[in-house]
Amino acid sequence: MCKPVPISEVFNQPDTDRDVCIRGWVYRTRSSGSIVFSIIRDASGIIQVTVKKGLLPEADFDAAVTASIESSVMVVGKIAEDKRAPGGFEIRASKFKLIGPADPFPITEYQSEELLLDKRHLWIRSREQNAIMKIKATALEGAREWLKENDFVEVTPPIFTTNACEGGVTLFKLDYFGREAYLSQSAQMYLEALIFSLERVWSLTPSFRAEKSRTPRHLTEYWHLELEEAWVENDENMRIQEDLVTAMVEKVLRKRRAELELLKRDIEPLKAVSPPFKRMKYSEVISLLRSKGFDIAYGCDLGAPEERAVTANEYVPIFITNYPKECKAFYMKEDPEDPKTYKCADLLAPEGYGEIIGGSERETDINKLIERLDALSIPRENYEWYLDLRRFGSVPHSGFGLGVERVVRWICGVEHIREVTPFPRTVARIYP
Ligand code: 4AD
Ligand code: MG
């Protein structure tokens, strides 16, 4: 057998004189008498293989007949133009080996969402899932490149913690050798500690939220890309966010056109993404929402319907700044120009997708932090180490957390967040 090549390479260099070898899985197959048309897929794409009795050993022809959907196979043959084949080329087989036969595949066309989730370990082979996973990897690659160019140091914070960074309601509690501990909701506090050594840091970790709500944008376990920056105030924090998000979108547009097309994603809105992003104050958003007929009180956090209304007709993400203190976490910096609010910003993705980033400048006044912990009846012991950061050479600093699946959901233009993670964890799902 010759050296196997990725299927995409066959299309890139359709040299019709040479034998090519591919290996992959049967995506579709039909046979009639002395001919088998088998569509083979590998990580890179699909191609039609035509197998004609008499043009290859008898055993190979039989293998092609028996190779049912999702059997793994190896094929050698010559490339030929064929207008009817997907992509305009096919392979005319001179060898066809069955590597791993497949039982009847449980996923056929038009399956219920439930079945696709039960069979997720098999459904991730679908072309849509393949495209989404590539786009996710490329978006992260774009982020990593940007972080490297901008002198951020990658760090590795813990997942077991005794801190409730984002409040008690969504904590996953666990028994840590007899002590109560939690799965991390955010690496933020650890990143804050690390800036006193490294100044500009980032981490990519799973974060956990015991979200009981079943929504198309909440997972109980998601990937969290977090940055923390010494000597940075909230305005610059927002500039960092718009540059980072733009780098992620641009990388996907440059490298993943075919995948976006497969997902039928309209790329015109994505092409419009470039800094500066629009900034609106929370109070302006409340007025806007009321003018659109929302019955919303000042002080309420924005939910999905409100965020959808604000972003539905936009192509570029929008920052919402200056949330009132009562709807945000205790560690944010009070805005001296508007002390009812924090120097914070949520970044909302356009086209209705809503929040993709939560960020803020951090409170440096230790007394304010202590007051807020007391007001929330949070025992101070677990936060002494965090308060130490204000006792030893405190500096102005800011940071943010980007929900990777939220961003990929928007870039891919898919409705439900579970589609952008291979093994989604939701209230109802922990298998497979
Ligand atoms: O807004 P959040 O809760 O902010 C924080 O955790 C900060 N401590 C981050 C920081 O400043 N370092 O979460 C940040 C982002 C959200 O904007 C959203 O994109 C994502 O994390 N996120 C979720 N994604 C999927 N499922 C969930 N249940 C999520 N909860 C938050
Ligand atoms: Mg948030």
Express each pLDDT in 22-68 by its tens digit. Answer: 999 999 999 999 999 999 999 999 999 999 999 999 999 999 999 99
Q: Among 183, 203, 209, 409, which residue has the most ligand 1 atoms within 8 Å of its CB, making it the best to mutate?
A: 209
- For residues 401-428, average pLDDT: 97
Neighbour-count burial for 372-387, b at 16+ CB within 10 Å, e otherwise: bbeeeebeeeebeebe
- Beta-carbon neighbour count of residue 222 at 10 Å? 22
Take residue 395 and report the two structure tokens written for it. Answer: 């500096």
Which of ligand 1's atoms lies nearest the C-alpha of 331?
8
Number of the ligand closest to the Cα of 165? 1
- For residues 344-365, average pLDDT: 98
**pLDDT tens-place string over residues 299-335:** 988 999 999 999 999 999 999 999 999 999 999 999 9
Residues of the chain above pLDDT 90, percent: 92
Report CA torsion sign: 246, 399, 376, 185: positive
Stated as kind and residue range, the H or E segment containing 10 is helix 7-12
Confidence of residue 1 (pLDDT cuts 50, 70, 90): low
**Cα–Cα nearest to 352, from 288, 275, 410:** 410
Number of the ligand closest to the Cα of 186? 1
- For residues 124-137, average pLDDT: 98
Q: Among 169, 182, 189, 222, which residue has the most ligand 1 atoms within 8 Å of its CB, making it the best to mutate?
A: 222
Angle at 358 between CA 193 and CA 145, to 5 degrees: 70
Angle at 395 between CA 394 and CA 396, to 5 degrees: 135
Residues of the chain above pLDDT 70, percent: 100
pLDDT at 44: 97
The maximal CA–CA distance of the chain, rounded, in angstroms, is: 86
Which of ligand 1's atoms lies nearest the C-alpha of 227?
12
- For residues 385-411, average pLDDT: 98
d(CA 349, CA 353): 5
**pLDDT tens-place string over residues 189-225:** 999 999 999 999 999 999 999 988 889 999 999 999 9
Which residues have C-beta atoms less than 6 Å from ligand 1? 165-166, 185-186, 188, 209, 211, 218-219, 222, 224, 226, 355-359, 399-401, 403, 405-406
Q: How far is the CA of 355 from the centre of ligand 1 (A)?
A: 9
Confidence of residue 13 (pLDDT cuts 50, 70, 90): confident
Cα 283 to its chain centre, rounded Å, is 30
d(CA 96, CA 29): 14
Number of the ligand closest to the Cα of 217? 1
Which of ligand 1's atoms lies nearest the C-alpha of 185?
6
d(CA 258, CA 135): 10
Show the domains of the chain with their CATH numbers.
7-100 (2.40.50.140), 117-420 (3.30.930.10)
Kindly give the interhelix angle for 282-291 and 304-311, rounded to the nearest 10 degrees: 90
pLDDT at 18 over 90: no
Distances (CA, A) of 238 to 168, 272, 278, 354: 27, 18, 11, 16
Which of ligand 1's atoms lies nearest the C-alpha of 403?
19
